[in-house]
Each structure stands twice: as structure tokens, then as C-alpha cells.
């Protein structure tokens, strides 16, 4: 019997029947875009499902997008077959077509509980979908297989199906059919056996016995290194500054994407591999020079750090220079337009209805009042208070400010005043 949170299924939806792809023929330096087959998101049946009440985009807009052709060197190629996969409209169409999937699955496989060793164990299905990539999680293999059948039945009227080659059922901890863990959105998600200090615990104190690790997948590392390699090769004869300017956004963008996961080991590895590439780039430019000369020309080695730098102001960004910060999930039914400014300012440290200072304080205090430790509500009256009152020499700066409920602020001011009165000599 698998324990909670262990069995995981991964599905990749690809319309198998359609032979939909873009072919680029590079004859005579002229690019020709050929679209063949029925694209997954625009068959007539799919179009009919757009008319549901959950329609996000006006029908006309969507149809316009689908019918807009491709402009190539001033010539318009009308598209009869719809939007290309990987184009910017494609994820939106995927979201529109696949809306309601979670509801269907939850309705078909509701949560339940079972008694195990005298304890109630709760089982619940989870679905994570990003455009057409999705993961279904369930602690019970039987339920997972049922979920697969439900999904297939749900997709069928839209001419979609789970692609056999890309749909896998795996276990996150134990090897199931040869592999443990899975890749999703460029990350590998896996669990490892762990002692009680590295593992979370059940309510009664017994340890899970494993920890969950999310880190950049092997494929992501490879693709990223290939991107860096391509840029470095293109700049074999270019000035060092031009190379740095090209590499920095790639490195920062990649590292920021993975900064919410357990990526430090991957970042260190990427630093090292990037260094090796740059070292051979530098060596090829100066075949007759010594290694010491090359190092001093392209790296600022004097300060003990090897900074790949052409001038004092700029240097190559390091992957490990990006701080790893835990990702905080947005609550399920929250929307930025729901008017809950307390939640959003706490989450993002900014909100159009809230002043910058208040938003920063809300995030700092994690949405709680410093006086009564209760969460703020959107109906509450918030006031900014000087932790050390101005009358006692406190400064009007963010580090001396806190947000309080209005009534809590009254109490705090009263106690401040009392203190000032008691120690009149000290403050006068
Ligand atoms: Zn309060």
C-alpha cells in the first residue's frame, strides 16, 4: 500500500492524429513556412467548445487570431489551418480548450479517507496544468488509472488524446517501471529517503521518511549550456564587452526561472561549465600567450575572484549570484482583480490601491498586525505607526515603521504617551 503523496502520474497531451508542424526549408536562404495537418486547437469540434460561458476572449478576437496569416518578408501567407504550436496564441487556446479539466477530475474522483493502522488517512487528487502540460497526483495507483480514463473520455470530444509515448505513470520516491521522479516545466521533481531532520512529519510527530527536491532537469541544463555555447561561438572575434552583454540576460533569465527551487548545486555546475567555455574562448583568441597573461587580460583575478570583466562597471553575471528564494503559491481562487488588496500587497509588496510604503510593510509583516498578531482584513482600517515615536527621537523611515489596526494603534500610542509621561525628565 503506497503511503500518502507518493504515486504521481505525468501526462502530456499531444494531438496524435494531427500531423501539425511548421516546416522551414532553407533553400536559397529563403525561409518557407509550410503548415500541414489539422492543428490540435482549431478543429471544428474545438471551435464549438469555445462558445461555453467561461469564454475568456471575445469570439471575434479569437477567430481573428486564428485566421491571421503569417507575414514573412513583406508577403502575407494566409493560414487556413490555425495557430502554430509554440506560437504565443497557442497556450491561450490550450487554456481555453482545457478549462474545466480540474473540475471534471475532482467531480469524478472526490477525496476520501481510509483507516490504516487505526489512523484515518486522507486521499485527494491534485492536478497541475500549464497550457497543455499537466501532472496528476494521487497517492493511490488505482485512482490514478481511473483519472487517466476520465481524462481520456473528457478529451475525446475535442479530438484530443493523451499521447502514449509522452504519458507516464511514475512514483516520486520508489522506482516504478525503472524510474523515480518526473520532469515538469523544466524541473525534475523527486523525493529522496531522508532522516527525521530533513523530512517533514505527520501531525503525531512520526517522520515522513523522505524529502521532496525540485531542481533543474538534465534537459534544461543541456539546453541552457547549448544556448551559452552558441553565443560564445558567435562572438569568437567580437570584443569581450559585446559577449558579456549578450550572455548576461541569458544567464540571469535562466537563473531567475529556477531561483524558486533547490537549484544551488545546478547553479554552481553552470558557473563552472560557463567558465570552461569562456576559458577556451579566450585561449583561442591568443594562441601564443601564456595562461597567466590570458587570465589577467579577461578576468579580474587580483581580488581573489575570477570576474569575467572588460571594465570596472560590468562583469559577467554568475548563476550563483541569483538568490534562491522560496516560491509562495498564490491561493487557488485569488485573482488580482478581486479587491483583496491586503492579500496581494502582502504577496507582492505592491498593489495599485495601496501606497508603496504600506505595501512594503504588509509584505514585511506577512499581512499581520504587530500589536495583536491577527491577520489584516480588507475591511480593516490600517495605520502606520512609528515603532520608536518621533517624540523619542525615532526616524520617519521604513525600518522604524509598522502597520497596526486603527484600534491597536490607539492602544500603542496610549502606552507610548504613558511612558513619555513617566520618564518626562529623560525626554525633555
Ligand atoms: Zn491589531
Beta partners for 375? 368
Cβ contact 245:234 at 8 Å: no
pLDDT tens by residue, 302-354:
667 788 888 877 888 999 988 888 877 777 777 777 778 888 888 877 787 88
Cβ contact 297:290 at 8 Å: no
Measured CA distances, 144 to 3, 106, 112, 340, 346 (Å): 14, 12, 14, 36, 36
What percentage of the chain exceeds 70 in pLDDT?
Answer: 76
Among residues 404, 334, 407, 335, the alpha carbon closest in space to that of 376 is found at: 404
Band (pLDDT 50/70/90 cuts) for residue 401 is: very high
Residue 89 in this model has a pLDDT that exceeds 50:
yes
Ligand 1 centroid, distance to 385 Cα (angstroms): 12
Ligand 1 centroid, distance to 165 Cα (angstroms): 56
Band (pLDDT 50/70/90 cuts) for residue 386 is: very high
pLDDT tens by residue, 56-73:
333 445 555 555 555 556
pLDDT tens by residue, 222-246:
999 999 999 999 999 999 999 999 9
Residue 412 in this model has a pLDDT that exceeds 70:
yes
Residue 281 in this model has a pLDDT that exceeds 90:
yes
CA–CA dist 311, 240 (Å, integer): 10
Ligand 1 centroid, distance to 5 Cα (angstroms): 38
Ligand 1 centroid, distance to 412 Cα (angstroms): 10
Confidence at residue 99, expressed as pLDDT on a 0 to 100 scale: 74
Ligand 1 centroid, distance to 67 Cα (angstroms): 56
Retrieve residue 359's grid coordinates. 505595501
Ligand 1 centroid, distance to 411 Cα (angstroms): 10
Beta partners for 176? 179
CA–CA dist 245, 251 (Å, integer): 11
CA–CA dist 332, 401 (Å, integer): 31
Ligand 1 centroid, distance to 360 Cα (angstroms): 17
Cβ contact 22:35 at 8 Å: yes
In the predicted model, what is the mean pLDDT of the chain? Answer: 76
Ligand 1 centroid, distance to 420 Cα (angstroms): 22
Distance of CA 394 to the CA centre of its chain: 40
Confidence at residue 426, expressed as pLDDT on a 0 to 100 scale: 63
Residue 88 in this model has a pLDDT that exceeds 90:
no
CA–CA dist 77, 340 (Å, integer): 46
Cβ contact 376:364 at 8 Å: no
Average pLDDT score over residue span 395-418: 90
Ligand 1 centroid, distance to 365 Cα (angstroms): 12
pTM metric for this prediction: 0.64
Confidence at residue 139, expressed as pLDDT on a 0 to 100 scale: 82
Ligand 1 centroid, distance to 358 Cα (angstroms): 15
Ligand 1 centroid, distance to 238 Cα (angstroms): 60
DSSP-derived 3-state class of residue 239 = coil
- The DSSP code for 375 is B
pLDDT tens by residue, 104-121:
888 888 998 888 888 888
CA–CA dist 281, 320 (Å, integer): 21
Ligand 1 centroid, distance to 384 Cα (angstroms): 12
Ligand 1 centroid, distance to 405 Cα (angstroms): 4
Ligand 1 centroid, distance to 402 Cα (angstroms): 11
Confidence at residue 343, expressed as pLDDT on a 0 to 100 scale: 85
Which residues, at least 6 apart from 112, have a Cβ–Cβ distance to it below 8 Å? Answer: 122, 123
Band (pLDDT 50/70/90 cuts) for residue 46 is: very low
What percentage of the chain exceeds 90 in pLDDT?
Answer: 21
Ligand 1 centroid, distance to 65 Cα (angstroms): 51
Give exposure, 282-292, as e/b (b: 16+ Cβ within 10 Å): beeeeeeeeee
Amino acid at each position: 500500500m503506497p503511503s500518502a503523496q507518493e504515486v504521481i502520474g505525468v501526462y502530456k497531451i499531444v494531438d496524435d492524429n494531427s500531423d501539425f508542424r511548421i516546416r522551414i526549408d532553407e533553400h536559397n536562404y529563403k525561409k518557407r513556412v509550410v503548415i500541414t495537418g489539422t492543428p490540435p486547437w482549431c478543429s471544428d469540434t474545438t471551435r464549438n467548445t469555445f462558445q461555453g460561458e467561461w469564454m475568456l476572449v471575445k469570439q471575434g478576437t479569437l477567430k481573428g487570431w486564428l485566421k491571421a496569416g503569417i507575414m514573412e518578408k513583406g508577403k502575407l501567407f494566409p493560414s487556413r489551418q490555425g495557430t502554430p504550436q509554440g506560437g504565443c496564441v497557442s497556450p491561450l487556446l490550450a487554456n481555453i480548450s482545457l478549462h474545466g479539466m480540474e473540475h471534471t477530475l475532482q467531480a469524478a474522483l472526490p477525496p476520501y479517507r481510509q483507516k490504516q493502522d487505526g489512523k484515518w488517512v486522507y486521499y485527494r487528487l491534485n492536478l497541475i496544468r500549464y497550457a497543455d502540460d499537466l501532472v496528476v497526483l494521487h497517492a493511490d495507483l488505482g485512482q490514478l488509472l481511473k483519472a487517466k480514463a476520465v481524462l481520456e473520455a473528457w478529451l475525446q470530444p475535442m479530438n484530443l488524446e493523451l499521447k502514449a509515448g509522452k504519458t507516464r505513470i511514475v512514483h516520486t520516491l520508489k522506482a516504478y517501471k525503472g524510474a523515480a521522479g518526473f520532469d515538469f516545466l523544466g524541473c525534475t521533481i523527486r523525493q529522496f529517503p531522508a532522516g527525521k531532520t530533513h523530512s517533514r512529519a505527520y501531525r503525531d510527530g512520526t517522520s515522513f521518511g523522505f524529502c521532496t527536491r525540485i531542481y533543474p532537469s538534465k534537459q534544461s541544463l543541456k539546453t541552457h549550456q547549448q544556448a551559452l555555447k552558441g553565443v560564445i561561438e558567435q562572438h569568437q572575434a567580437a570584443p569581450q564587452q559585446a559577449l558579456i552583454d549578450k550572455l548576461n540576460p541569458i544567464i540571469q533569465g535562466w537563473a531567475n526561472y529556477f531561483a524558486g527551487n533547490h537549484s544551488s548545486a545546478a547553479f554552481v555546475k553552470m558557473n563552472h561549465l560557463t567558465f570552461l567555455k569562456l576559458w577556451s574562448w579566450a585561449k583561442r583568441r591568443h594562441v601564443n600567450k601564456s595562461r597567466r597573461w590570458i587570465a589577467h587580460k579577461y578576468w579580474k583575478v587580483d581580488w581573489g575572484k575570477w570576474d569575467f570583466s572588460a571594465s570596472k562597471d560590468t562583469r559577467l553575471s554568475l548563476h550563483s549570484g541569483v538568490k534562491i528564494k522560496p516560491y509562495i503559491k498564490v491561493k487557488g481562487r485569488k485573482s488580482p482583480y478581486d479587491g483583496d488588496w491586503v492579500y496581494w500587497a502582502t504577496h507582492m509588496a505592491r498593489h495599485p490601491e495601496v501606497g508603496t510604503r504600506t505595501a512594503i510593510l504588509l509584505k514585511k509583516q506577512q499581512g499581520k498586525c504587530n500589536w495583536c498578531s491577527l491577520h489584516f482584513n480588507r475591511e480593516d482600517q490600517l495605520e502606520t505607526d512609528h515603532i520608536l515615536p518621533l517624540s523619542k527621537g525615532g526616524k520617519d523611515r521604513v525600518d522604524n515603521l509598522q502597520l497596526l489596526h486603527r484600534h491597536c494603534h490607539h492602544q500603542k500610542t496610549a502606552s507610548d504617551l504613558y511612558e513619555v509621561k513617566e520618564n518626562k525628565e529623560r525626554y525633555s
